[in-house]
């Protein structure tokens, strides 16, 4: 498969792109001052959320996806063993899920899961199985991925009283298993397309429907003029107003990135391309971090809270260019290219999303199936 390379379209030399990706990976995993990957003992490692001083299922699964994309089985296995040892729930209503937050020492800060971690764990494991082959448990990657997806859909069929992560009636991912609303940034139709060929055979029709349901959902969850989605949204797409989560805030930036990768892997769709166009039109004259803010999804500036992750917003809007057909697509790619990784306490989220967007825009975020 040929993946689109928007850095090349923007006139950026391939050697420069390769160096920037290599340098970003080196910074995240090995730079003495700026890394947020840390090794534990002879065979484990974790990704630290530097703003909150914990390890999250989101970040652990992101790190695994980075490792499999860069062919670093050593890092992948360390992250996976930490996740299975300290985050995995072996009993109770969350059996088969992963605690969403643990301390760097592995102590659970919370028992409940966050579904974006599970879906990234599963996809990274499937890619690892195809890229490196399966080993002895827990490195039997393919079976581990299928087990995660099995719990995601059938958790309420056991005796512990748990809840699935997807609503089986509307095929939409939930914010958490117990609550009947979603997080638009959790919607990864491009992952579900692949799950439809890799999950347990009896569940494959569900994942195929989930891919289309998620694309349809994003069209109603993203504002008709600005393209923005809230962090939390009801199944009808309307924002769920819980503190700042009803606004276009940190989680919600990922929607553009996800739309971009869906277009890169499976081709653009008119509805999702229109969302990317609207987002880019809204932000085209606000491209500098000092001009960015928290917004209601209609574009109204919200004074508090202040924006936490401006680089993440800039990076994901650039990645949306993979789906966009508007006039700003290459200008936003060039602007993102010019920006260094973030430094300081809040670097974790910005730099995770920036790294993924670098891979996407270079045509280097690959499917291993």
Q: Compute the average pLDDT of residues 51-73.
A: 98
Banded model confidence at residue 215, pLDDT cuts 50, 70, 90 = very high
Going by the DSSP 8-state scheme, the letter that residue 249 receives in this structure is -
According to the model, what pLDDT value does residue 158 have?
74
Q: Is 113 exposed, middle or buried (0-12, 13-18, 19+ CB in 10 A)?
A: buried
Looking at the annotation, which residues are catalytic?
A: 58, 251
**pLDDT tens track for 150-165:** 999 999 987 778 999 9
Q: Which domains does the chain have, with CATH numbers?
A: 1-35+222-369 (1.50.10.10)
Half-sphere exposure (Cβ direction) of 256: Cα atoms closer than 13 Å? 35
Across 115-119, 203-207, 240-244, least confident range: 240-244
According to the model, what pLDDT value does residue 287 have?
86
As a whole number, the mean pLDDT across the chain is: 97
What pTM was estimated for this model as a whole? 0.98
According to the model, what pLDDT value does residue 286 have?
92
Banded model confidence at residue 330, pLDDT cuts 50, 70, 90 = very high
Q: Tell whether the model's pLDDT for residue 85 goes beyond 90.
A: yes
Q: Compute the average pLDDT of residues 264-284.
A: 98
According to the model, what pLDDT value does residue 187 have?
98
According to the model, what pLDDT value does residue 225 have?
98
Q: Tell whether the model's pLDDT for residue 245 goes beyond 80.
A: yes
According to the model, what pLDDT value does residue 348 have?
98
- DSSP-assigned letters across all residues of 219-283: HHHS-TTT----SSB-TTS-B--SGGGGSB-GGGGHHHHHHHHHHHHH---HHHHHHHHHHHHHH
Q: 45: which strand partners? A: 39
């Amino acid at each position: 498969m040929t993946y689109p390379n928007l850095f090349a379209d923007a006139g950026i030399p391939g050697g420069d792109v390769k160096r920037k990706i290599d340098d970003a990976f080196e910074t995240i995993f090995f730079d003495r001052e700026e890394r947020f990957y840390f090794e534990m003992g002879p065979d484990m490692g974790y990704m630290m959320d530097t703003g909150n001083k914990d390890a999250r299922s989101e970040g652990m699964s992101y790190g695994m996806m980075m490792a499999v994309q860069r062919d670093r089985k050593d890092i992948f296995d360390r992250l996976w063993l930490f996740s299975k040892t300290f985050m995995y729930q072996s009993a109770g209503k969350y059996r088969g899920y992963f605690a969403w937050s643990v301390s760097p020492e592995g102590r659970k800060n919370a028992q409940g899961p966050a579904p974006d971690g599970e879906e990234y764990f599963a996809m990274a494991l499937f890619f690892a199985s195809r890229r490196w082959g399966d080993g002895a448990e827990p490195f039997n990657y393919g079976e581990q991925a299928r087990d995660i997806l099995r719990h995601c859909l059938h958790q309420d069929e056991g005796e512990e009283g748990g809840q699935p992560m997807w609503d089986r009636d509307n095929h939409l991912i939930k914010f958490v298993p117990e609550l009947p609303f979603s997080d638009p940034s959790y919607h990864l139709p491009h992952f579900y397309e692949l799950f439809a060929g890799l999950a347990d055979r009896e569940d494959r029709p569900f994942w195929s429907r989930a891919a289309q349901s998620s694309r349809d959902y994003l069209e109603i969850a993203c504002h008709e003029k600005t393209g923005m989605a809230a962090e939390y949204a009801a199944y009808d797409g309307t924002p769920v107003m819980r503190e700042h989560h009803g606004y276009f805030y940190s989680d919600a930036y990922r929607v553009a990135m996800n739309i971009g990768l869906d277009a890169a892997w499976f081709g653009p769709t008119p509805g999702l391309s229109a969302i990317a166009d609207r987002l880019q039109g809204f932000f085209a004259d606000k491209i500098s971090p000092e001009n960015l803010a928290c917004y209601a999804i209609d574009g109204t500036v919200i004074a508090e809270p202040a924006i936490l992750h401006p680089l993440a917003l800039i990076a994901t809007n650039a990645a949306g260019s993979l789906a966009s057909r508007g006039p700003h697509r290459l200008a936003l790619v060039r602007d993102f290219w010019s920006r260094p990784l973030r430094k300081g306490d809040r670097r974790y989220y910005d730099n995770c999303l920036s790294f993924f967007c670098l891979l996407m825009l270079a045509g280097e975020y690959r499917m291993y199936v």
